[in-house]
Structure 1
Amino acid sequence: MKNNKAIIFDLDGTLIDSVLDIALCMNEVLKELNLKSYEIEEYNYFLGGGIDVLVNNVLKNPSEELRQTVSEKFQAVYETTLHSNTKAYEGVCELLQELQNQNFNIGVLSNKPHKFTQGYVEKIFKEFNLKEVHGQKGHIPKKPDPTAAINIAKSFNVPCQDTYFVGDTKVDMQTANNANMISIGVLWGFRDEEELRQYGAKYIVKEPLDILSIIK
C-alpha cells in the first residue's frame, strides 16, 4: 500500500530545545575575545539561520576577520560534543510516536551542520523511524531555499502540496511556502505568533500534539 503521508520538521526550536547550550558556548567565545555577551533569552532571536547568521547577529556588522574568528572558535567549542542540556520539547516524542503509528513519512531539515543534525536525532529520537534527516551541507542551499525540502518530499514520493512542514521561525515558514508545502508554525520555539503569521504560517500550534488535529 502506498504511503502518501509526509511531514518535515525543523530541528532546533521545533523538535529540540537547544538554545541554552548554543548560548553558553557562544558566550564563552565572546567573553574569551572580550566582546559583548548576551542573556540566554536573547539568543531566541539570533538562531534559525545556521552558524553564519548566528555569528552575524551576535557581532552586529563585524569585519570579515572577526566573523571568521568567532565562527571558528564557536564551532570548536560547540561542535565537539552533543550537549547535555539539549533535549526534546515536552510532547514531541509522543507526537512522533503517533505519527509513526499513522504511517507518516517523517523527515528533519535543519540549518545546523549535517553531522550534528544527525547526531542529535540519533541521540534523542533513536527509537523513531525518521527516514530523512538533513542538516546544512555545502552543496545544497540553506533554508529558506526550498531545494532540500523538495528533495525530501521526492524521496518520500509525496507531492509537495501534500507535505506538512513544521518549524518555529520565519525561515521555516518561508521554506514551506517556497516549496509549496503546508506550513505549521509552533509557539514553543524561538519566535512568536506574529512573526510566524507574517511569514505565511497556514496553521499555528501551541503544543506538539495539536499537530494531530491538523493532519487528520
Structure 2
Amino acid sequence: MSDARFPKAVLFDLDGTLLDSAPDMLAAVNAMRASRGEPGMLLDALRPHVSKGGRAMIAAAFPQVDAAMRETWIPEFLDHYRRELGRHGAPFEGVEALLAAIEAAGSRWGIVTNKPEALAVALMPLLGWESRCAVLIGGDSLPARKPDPLPLRVAADRMGLASQDCVYVGDDERDIAAARAAGMRSVVALWGYRLDGDDPVAWQGDVMLDTPRAMLDPSNWMPR
C-alpha cells in the first residue's frame, strides 16, 4: 500500500454501494407478487433497479400496471421491506475491510442515502455499524435529497468538515451529480446496481473503481 492518506471523511451511498440489499428488496417485491397470484421475480431481473428506488422496483415487478396505481402500492412495498430488512442482504465483499481501514487511519465515514431515514437507522445495529457511522442522512431527513447537494453538505457540516474535506462514493448517477454540486470528490462504485443503458463514464465522477477492496489503497482514488 502506498503512503497516500484517506480523506478526513468518506461518505457513502447505502444500497448498491455499502450494502447488497437487493435480496431484501426481492423478498418484499415477491411478497407483493404472491399476494396478487404472480410468480416470484428473479434476483437478476430486480437487481439493476434497486438504486433507482422503490418506485422503480415496483415498476420492474409490475410493468403491466399503470404508474398511478403503482404509486398507491408504495406503502405496501415499504411494509413488506421493513419485515425483510437485513434478513437476506449483506455488505458487499471488501466493505468491512474498507471501513476498518478508514477507521484505523483516523478518518471517519458516514452514509447519505435516499432510503427513508428510519429504515436506514434500523439497519445500523443489524450490521454492527450503529456506533461506527459518524453521520447518517436519509432521503426524508431534509427538504431535498440526492441529486440535490443539500444532504451531502449537511453531512459534512454535521461532521464539522468542509465539503472539500470529504469524498462521496455511490453507484448511481444521482450520487455523482450530488457530489459534484456539493464540491466533493466522487468515486463511482462500479460494483453496485446499474441498468443496461447506464453509462457511468458519462456521470463524470472523479474515479471509477470495480471493487471496495480497490479503495483500500487511497492512491487509487485520492490525489497524491
- TM-score grouping bracket, smaller chain normalisation: 0.7 to 0.9
- Which among 194, 198, 202 is matched to residue 198 of structure 1? 202
**Deviation at residue 27 of structure 1 after TM alignment:** 2.3
> Does the Cα contact within 8 Å between 2:86 and 2:126 map onto a contact in 1?
no
Equivalent residue letter for 1:9:
F
2:17 maps to 1:9: no
Q: Secondary structure at the match of 2:169?
A: strand
Structure-1 residue corresponding to 2:140: 137
Q: Secondary structure at the match of 1:129?
A: coil
Q: Secondary structure at the match of 1:136?
A: coil
Equivalent residue letter for 2:175:
D
- Which among 129, 152, 155 is matched to residue 152 of structure 1? 155
**Deviation at residue 15 of structure 1 after TM alignment:** 0.7
> Does the Cα contact within 8 Å between 2:51 and 2:194 map onto a contact in 1?
no
Q: Secondary structure at the match of 1:118?
A: helix
Q: Secondary structure at the match of 1:111?
A: coil
2:126 maps to 1:123: yes
Unpaired runs of 5+ residues, structure 2, are 1-6
Deviation per CA, 1:105-142, whole angstroms, max 9, x where unpaired?
21101111111111212221337621101222164322
| Number of aligned residue pairs | 212
1:12-31 map, 5 Å: 12-31=15-34
Counterpart CA distance in 1 for 2:32 and 2:135 is 33
> Does the Cα contact within 8 Å between 2:24 and 2:84 map onto a contact in 1?
no
**Deviation at residue 57 of structure 1 after TM alignment:** 4.6
Counterpart CA distance in 2 for 1:11 and 1:208 is 13
**Deviation at residue 50 of structure 1 after TM alignment:** 2.9
Counterpart CA distance in 2 for 1:128 and 1:188 is 26
Counterpart CA distance in 2 for 1:77 and 1:63 is 20
Deviation per CA, 1:147-175, whole angstroms, max 9, x where unpaired?
11110111223221231000112121122
> Does the Cα contact within 8 Å between 1:49 and 1:171 map onto a contact in 2?
no
Q: Secondary structure at the match of 1:79?
A: helix
1:57-68 map, 5 Å: 57-60=60-63, 62-68=66-72
Structure-1 residue corresponding to 2:167: 164
Determine what percentage of the aligned residue pairs are the same residue. 23
TM-score, normalization by structure 1: 0.86
Query: Residues 27 and 80 (structure 1 numbering): CA distance in 2 closer, same or farther, change over 3 Å?
Result: closer
- Identify which range, 144-153 or 173-182, moves more after superposition: 173-182
Q: Secondary structure at the match of 1:184?
A: strand
Counterpart CA distance in 2 for 1:138 and 1:127 is 17
TM-score, normalization by structure 2: 0.83
Deviation per CA, 1:72-94, whole angstroms, max 9, x where unpaired?
22112111353321111111111
Structure-2 residue corresponding to 1:76: 79
Q: CA RMSD in A?
A: 2.5
- Which among 34, 41, 45 is matched to residue 42 of structure 1? 45
**Deviation at residue 55 of structure 1 after TM alignment:** 3.0
- Identify which range, 26-35 or 205-214, moves more after superposition: 26-35
> Does the Cα contact within 8 Å between 2:46 and 2:60 map onto a contact in 1?
no
Equivalent residue letter for 2:207:
Y
Counterpart CA distance in 1 for 2:71 and 2:169 is 30
